[in-house]
Structure 1
Amino acid sequence: MRTLLRMCVLLCLLAMPAWATATSRAVWTWERDSYALLESRAAADAAFAFLRDQHVDTFYLYADAYDGRNLIAQQPQRYRDFIATAHARGFKVYALLGSAYLNTERYILPERRRDATAMLQRVLDYNAAAPEAARFDGVNLDIEPHLLDQWNDASREDLLRDLIEVSAQWMRMKRDSGQTLAIGLATPFWFDGIPVRWRGTTKPASEHLADCYDYLALMDYRDHADGRDGIVAHAAKEMDYAQRIGKTVVIGLELGPSEPKKVTFHHRSEADLRREMAATEAAYAQSKAFAGFALHHYRSYREWIDAQRPR
């Protein structure tokens, strides 16, 4: 019966017109691209048009320092203008926090805790001061401890414990601010295989993190939905746990060039992406935890689509 239901849902999704989708889709938009959207109305208009065509309804818009500037602190009106325009056009905007430029993977370390809290505080302060129409709808944190050199020695559990600890601190900051914006973390699917003892309880790192946040953005980087090494299987534990505790999971997919090939749709077509997303959605159609997709990332997405268009 479950297989039949999934097949029916999948056929319905594939039969829908290209412009129609009921599933939320977000796109990660990193430092350079986000600053371009904030500083150029033409770039912003092009992004709105492109993402509407691709059924994307949510920006994860970078909101921290880049290239010697910090626009959210120094020129917050740029964020107000962009977010108000995005809202008027039917988009949501989440503040994207985490940066290769800033090496924010180091922010989990106790000696960088001040930087970690300041990063989120700027967004909370911005929202508190902005008109309602210009406020962020949420926050997406992309802080990846596995990028640290220490990850390859015996300290993985310690680093994940640091991540869980700073995560709890970020969520306390949200509660103390009185704000209701959703805050979530981008996390690799394989965190569910690493047990961590925190505050007297040992369980997978993914479960501790789900306990902390409003949602998880699962970096479920595979180019196919089905099978033991597919998108659906790799999300199963996170989805089951999120449903049990009343949280949600956004499934992240990669579109940029990467190795091995199975981690990205870069070598596949737009039709392939639509089909595998439909299969994933069908698999989780009955799950209250499923909150749509996030696509990585804006520039790669545009280049990938452009490469498939007739010349």
Structure 2
Amino acid sequence: MKKKLLFFLLTVTAFLFLTGFSDSEESKKAMWVENTDLSENRESILTKAEENDVNVLYVKMKEETSSAAYSDLIRGADEKEIEVHALGGEPAWALAENEQQILDFIERVNNYNEGAAEEEKFQGIHFKIQPQYLPEWYEDKSTVLKEWKDNLSTALDTFSEDTPLEISSSIPFWLDEMDTPGETDTPFSTWLIRHFDHTTILAYRDTLEGPNGIVSLTENEFEAADSLNKQILVGVTMADTGQDHTTFFEEGTADMDMHLNLVDKHLGAYDSYKGTAVDDFSSMEQQEDQASAPPEENKNYRGTYIWEAETLINEKDSIIEFAKEKNINLLYTRLDLTRPHSAYSDFVEKANAEGIEVHAMGGHPSWALKEEESRMLDLVDYVKTYNDSVEEGQKFSGIHLDIEPYTEPSWAENQQDILSQWMDNIELFVNETKRESNLEASMDLAMWFDNTETPGQPDTPFNEWVIDKMDHTSVMAFRDKAEGSGGILDMAQNEVDYAESIDKDVIISVEMKENKANPHISFHDEGEAVMEEELDLVDEELQSYSSYQGYIVHAYRYWKNQ
């Protein structure tokens, strides 16, 4: 008997030695389903999940979606052995004033499950709260963190210890750099990991190794989860974020899958590692649609600025006719935010029907300062609210900023401080513009910023920092000749080259306004015919660059009076 027992123990030991000690629980591969109509997309969601070996769906629970749509999806997922977790969360859920919204969400999930058949129940609840997209985050992070913690504590207290639901959350990787309110020796990421069954780290990068790769950015979270006996998933995104290093949108599904398989190898040594997650279904669909479409040629924009909102409102037919006459297909248009949406919808519809993109525009030198960020956010909020309220053909395509703080006397004395504030405002602008929208974020950039250091990043010229943030950048290469030293091509070359290296877009901006003190920066004296000849040379020279997307003339008022 003893010999048999000894033989059994030796056999088990040898087996474990050869195969490794592993948790019997199946690894997870999750996919978010957020802004998708479940009734219309049920089959494609399940097919996409099956094709990508997804076994957990984080499905956004919305008040306007019927219980039947959820039960139908969950029943189909259950047949394929896919768990469905109810997804809830908005950036504002981190604020104390919105605590009840979290509790209402939990109650909706519980009420749904109570009335559902066993194979139609949610198996978990997943929170995705990202307060970094709130203006309050940039005003007082410590208060937002405290309120976020308090809200989650209240929410978690509503669950009984024997709840059948798996409770999880998504958190950004950088929360390991922030202290937990009331627990200064504990990173907030650790506090969050401790309180959930599993945590998905939003490690939005398209590379594994190096100081800015997925492995390095998540190691603190894995070490904390190992010590707490908790589970971690690594989340990546397929969304078109406008920042190539944060997403696999450009690389495609095959490249993402290759990296996710390597994530298993790199991070599988952690006991807490339980798999990966992809954000999200609609982005994967969009990426595959793009991959199957023929490659886009350069847009060859030919545009102008309309700085007076009254002109846009009162001369809309004249503007459209001018645009058609001059072959213009891009307009940056200043808005009066006190006007109702109806003041712009007819113009934007007519422009779009003629193949003219319309980007809402705003800006002032003071918008570079922290104290003026609200004016910038008002513009973003107006445009997003406008787009949500109008028909598809009436929507703005983007939001464009023209902020030139160097025109103010304070620039010479406080350049680095103003630049730092401007950087914060730029990041806030991009985040708010891109959040839950497909609007392009763009801005004007003076050509000489390639000689200006970025605060905190002395090896990075400011022009490169800006180009990296924007979907496209309008380089103000204000010169009255294309070629030669000091010409348009010479002045914009660094920006075009850098944009090419990171797969971003640039537009060349030229001036038509009279400038008696510096006539060489404008085509006012030379006239339209010479400007057209010089811009043809710019086109010819830069057409081979995928980053070059055309040119824009400043501005409509001066161009039409030539």
1:87-117 per-residue CA deviation (whole Å, 9 max, x = no partner) reads 122211110111xxxxx21122122222222
Residue pair 2:301, 2:550 contacting (<8 A) in 1 also: yes
Q: Distance in 1 between matches of 2:373 and 2:398?
A: 21
1:253 is paired with a residue of what secondary structure? strand
Aligned counterpart for 1:82 among listed residues 326, 344, 347: 347
Look up the match of 1:142: 402
1:63 and 2:335 aligned? yes
Residue pair 2:434, 2:440 contacting (<8 A) in 1 also: no
2:561 is paired with a residue of what secondary structure? helix
1:128-182 per-residue CA deviation (whole Å, 9 max, x = no partner) reads 22211111011111011112221122x2122122212111111111232x11121
1:231 and 2:506 aligned? no
Look up the match of 2:97: none
Look up the match of 1:161: 420
User: If the length of structure 1 is used for normalisation, what is the TM-score?
Assistant: 0.81
Cα–Cα, structure 1 residues 162 and 256, in superposed 2: closer, same or farther, change >3 Å?
Answer: same
Look up the match of 2:540: 282
Look up the match of 1:35: 310
Give 1:271 deviation, angstroms: 2.1
Q: Percent identity?
A: 25
Residue pair 1:64, 1:97 contacting (<8 A) in 2 also: no
Look up the match of 1:51: 323
The structure having more radius of gyration, on CA atoms, is 2
1:266-277 matched pairs, under 5 angstroms: 266-277=524-535
1:298 and 2:556 aligned? yes
Q: Distance in 2 between matches of 1:220 and 1:184?
A: 16
1:216 and 2:473 aligned? yes
Between the two structures, name the one with larger relative contact order (CA 8 Å, sep ≥ 6): 1
Look up the match of 1:7: none
Match of 2:354, as an amino acid?
R
Q: Distance in 2 between matches of 1:127 and 1:299?
A: 27
Match of 2:366, as an amino acid?
R
User: If the length of structure 2 is used for normalisation, what is the TM-score?
Assistant: 0.45
Residue pair 2:306, 2:312 contacting (<8 A) in 1 also: no
Provide structure 2 residue ranges, at least 5 long, that are not aligned to the other structure.
1-298
Look up the match of 1:116: 376
Give 1:201 deviation, angstroms: 5.8
Match of 2:535, as an amino acid?
M
Look up the match of 1:18: none
Q: Distance in 2 between matches of 1:173 and 1:120?
A: 7
Provide structure 1 residue ranges, at least 5 long, that are not aligned to the other structure.
1-21, 99-103, 305-311
Match of 2:303, as an amino acid?
A
Give 1:256 deviation, angstroms: 1.3
Q: Distance in 2 between matches of 1:230 and 1:217?
A: 16
Match of 1:96, as an amino acid?
M
